Structure 1
């Protein structure tokens, strides 16, 4: 399954707790789209959120965010994990 990293840019910063709640909503919706949101990272002061997701396509990952909470990514990149 392809691996994607998405990036969100929110003006004015973002609270870690709000991102945690959005992630929970993703987990509730992801199964219907064969998507698995794995991890996320947050820069609260800069309003940056990064989500790592396994999905059949970037479109499927986008759909889960849209349906779960409406906070769609500004960019989605297909990535490969390295060590």
Structure 2
């Protein structure tokens, strides 16, 4: 399945604890969409969140975000993992 990196660009800073809660909601909502959220990173003071996701499409990634908590990504990129 393709691998995606999504980017959430919030208009204010974001707390790691809040992102952890949103990620937990994504994990609860992912199975019906055949999506697996793998990891996430947070730039708290910049209000940026990055999610690495195994999914059938970019649309499926945002479908899970929409269902789980309503914070859809501003950008979703198809990526390949390197070493």
Q: TM-score, normalised by structure 1?
A: 0.99
Q: CA RMSD in A?
A: 0.4
2:30 counterpart SS class: helix
Measured against aligned partners, the alpha-carbon deviations of 1:12-52 in whole angstroms (never above 9, x if no partner) come to: 10000000000000000000100000000000000000000
Q: How many residues align?
A: 83
Runs of 4+ in 1 over 2 A off after TM superposition: none
Name stretches of at least 5 consecutive residues in structure 1 with no aligned partner.
none
- Alpha-carbon distance in 1 for matches of 2:75, 2:8: 7
2:22 counterpart SS class: helix
